[in-house]
Amino acid sequence: MMVINAGDPLEVLPAEAREKVADLQRRRADVTTLYRSAFEDEQMLRAEIFKHEARIAELMEPRGRGGFGLGSDDMRVTTEQAKLDQKRSDLARLLATKEARGTESQRLGTLLRNIEQMITARPAGTVGRMIEIERPSFKGDLIDAIERRRARARELRADEARARCAPRPSAVRKAAMVAQVEALAEQGRPDAASSIEHGEPIEWPLANWQFEVHNVAPGAVAFGRLIDPKALIAWLFKDQLIDRLSVEIDECADDEAALGDEERRERITQILADLLFVEREECALIEIAKQQGLPADYRDDCDARAILQIEWAAAPPPEPRADAGEAGIVRHIGS
């Protein structure tokens, strides 16, 4: 867990943002303490449940086996059963509370890790700077307004995923394929110059190969150089290979949904900017809801910049020291 102290990475954050982080840390510590304290109560309840179950079994055990031989409707049995039912209900409530506290502790822990990762990944030479956003406008219920921002954020994430997974334009990939085949064909070109100049055999294109060796120690491998069949085929049938691969690309292409690299980058950049804006509004509404005592809190996958309402800005230059520029000067005091 992050702790605010001298030299801590959180020092790159403004004071208001650091206080938000400290509040998250305090809340997680409190929830974790409550979660752990419930363990003793749980063990006590389980022991009492076992005691009541054993007592009921003893009361209903036949006399010949050392019990009391009572029926299930006997007042002593029903009284003990009522105590058992109450303890079981208490345990169920305790376990539900314990699970909720565990989930909350995990959520807060994730938020703190996200903040730490955000600081680590920030642009070099930058520090956090608080930003002011206008109070988001909304109609109707405040919690509904928060949910609408979250729904919009989900839509933007889906748009981002589609942009990242969009196919490439077939023309671009065909050009890359042609360049790849031509380079491979050139690599596979046999060397006939030595045959003309020195009367030596044609030299064929070679490639390094790795082989598994069987019937020896496990994992043994061998290395060798053999003719590169792929490069040789590209040299022999370059045009046919390009034509056939063009057909394959056409069969896979979806140019209506395709995005070029530059267009993809621009679209993703815009989507991420829109997503950050929406999440900033969501977090601003959550702050208002918390002030009003409404049940709202940050998502554990929300952008940490939105939670802290900061942006990264160039760090200011360090303040000059009082003795700057006085290297080599000797001061005599008292003379």
What is the rounded distance in angstroms from the CA atom of residue 274 to the CA atom of residue 297? 21
Q: Is 136 left (phi over 0), alpha (psi -120 to 50) or beta?
A: beta
d(Cα 210, Cα 221) in Å, to the nearest integer?
7
Region for 293 from its dihedrals, namely left if φ exceeds 0, alpha if ψ lies in -120 to 50, beta otherwise: left
How far apart are alpha carbons 142 and 148 in whole angstroms? 10
Residues β-bridged to residue 223: 210
Dist. CA 132–CA 277, nearest whole Å: 12
pTM of the model: 0.74
What stretches of the chain show up as alpha helix (H) in DSSP? 15-60, 75-120, 142-165, 170-187, 193-198, 229-236, 238-252, 261-291, 304-308
Q: Rounded distance, CA 206 to CA 188, Å?
A: 8
- Contacts for 38-45 with beta carbons within 8 Å, 24 or more apart? 38/94, 38/97, 38/98, 38/101, 41/94, 42/91, 42/94, 42/95, 42/98, 45/87, 45/90, 45/91, 45/94
Question: How far is the C-alpha of 248 from the C-alpha of 235, rounded, in Å?
Answer: 20
Coil, strand or helix at 67: coil
Burial of 283 (0-12, 13-18, 19+ CB in 10 A): buried
Cα dihedral value 54, 59, 61, 65, nearest 10: 100
pLDDT tens for the chain, residues 1 to 335: 444 444 578 999 999 999 999 999 999 999 999 988 888 899 999 999 999 999 999 999 999 888 999 999 999 999 999 999 999 999 999 999 999 999 999 999 999 999 999 999 999 999 999 999 888 988 889 999 999 999 999 999 999 999 999 999 999 999 999 999 999 999 999 999 888 988 889 999 999 989 888 888 888 899 999 999 999 999 999 999 999 999 999 999 999 999 999 999 999 999 999 999 999 999 999 999 999 999 999 999 999 999 999 999 998 887 766 666 555 565 566 54
Amino acid type, 111: L
